Amino acid sequence: MGMSILDESSVLITGGTGSLGKALVHDLLSSTKVRRIAIFSRDELKQFHMRSEFKDDSRLRWFLGDIRDPDRLKRALHDVDYVFHAAALKQVDTGEYNPMEFIKTNVLGSQNVIDACIDSGVKRVIALSTDKASSPINLYGATKLTADKLFVAANNYSFSYGTTFSVVRYGNVMGSRGSVIPFFQQLANEGKPLPITDLRMTRFWISIDQAVRFVVESLEMMTGGELYVPKIPSMRIIDLAQAVSPGAQLVEVGMRPGEKLHEEMISADDSRRTIILDGRFVVMPVVAEWGYKAPRGLQMPEGLAYRSDTNESWMSQKDIANFILKN
CA dist 128 and 147 (Å) reads 10
SS3 104: helix
Q: How far is CA 186 from the centre of its chain?
A: 26
Pairing verdict, β 173-174 and 234-236: unpaired
At 8, phi and psi to the nearest 5? 60, 20
Is there a contact between 148 and 267 (Cβ–Cβ < 8 Å)? no
pLDDT score of 1: 66
Q: Residue 151: its pLDDT value, please?
A: 98
* Pair 83, 50: CB distance under 8 Å: no
With a cut of 70, say whether residue 186 has pLDDT above it: yes
Catalytic residues: 132
Do strands 82-85 and 173-174 pair parallel, antiparallel, or not at all (unpaired)?
Answer: unpaired
- Going by C-alpha positions, the residue among 148, 127, 123, 107 that lies closest to residue 215 is 127
If one compares 70 and 3, the residue with the highest pLDDT of the two is 70
Task: Supply φ then ψ for residue 2, to 5 degrees.
Answer: -85, 180
Beta strands (DSSP E) in the chain are 10-14, 36-41, 60-64, 82-85, 124-128, 164-168, 173-174, 194-196, 202-204, 206-207, 227-230, 234-236, 250-252, 264-266, 274-277, 280-283, 298-299, 306-307
- Taking the C-alpha atoms of residue 211 and residue 140, their distance in angstroms, rounded to an integer, is 20
In one letter, which amino acid is 40? F
In DSSP terms, 37 is beta-bridged to 11, 60
Mean pLDDT, range 281-295, rounded to an integer: 92
Continuous segment of H or E residues that includes residue 319 = helix 317-326
User: How many H helices and E strands in the chain?
Assistant: 11, 18
**What proportions of the chain, in percent to the nearest 5, are helix, strand and coil?**
40, 20, 40
What share of the chain in percent tops pLDDT 90? 87
In the prediction, which pLDDT does 177 show? Answer: 67
Q: What is the reported pLDDT for 270?
A: 97
**The pLDDT value given to residue 180:** 86
Of 175 and 210, which is predicted with more confidence?
210
Mean pLDDT of 3-19: 96
Residues 6+ apart with CB under 8 A from 277: 295, 297
pLDDT at residue 32 in the model: 96
Considering only the top CATH level, what class is 10-171+206-231+265-302? alpha beta
Q: If pLDDT is split at 50, 70 and 90, which confidence band does 24 have?
A: very high
Asked whether the predicted pLDDT for residue 179 surpasses 80, the reply is no
State yes or no: pLDDT of 25 exceeds 80.
yes
pLDDT of residue 48: 96
Q: Assign 178 a pLDDT band (cuts: 50, 70, 90).
A: low
The C-alpha atoms of residue 211 and residue 23 are separated, in whole angstroms, by: 9
Distances (CA, A) of 245 to 3, 175, 181, 191, 240: 43, 17, 10, 9, 9
Q: How confident is the model at residue 2 (pLDDT cuts 50, 70, 90)?
A: confident
- The answer to whether 101 and 68 are in contact (CB under 8 A) is no
Q: What is the reported pLDDT for 289?
A: 85
> Alpha-carbon distance 174 to 323, whole Å?
9
Which residue(s) pair with 277 in the sheet?
280
pTM, entire model: 0.95
Would you state the pLDDT for residue 288? 87
Pick the residue with more confidence: 172 or 296?
Answer: 296
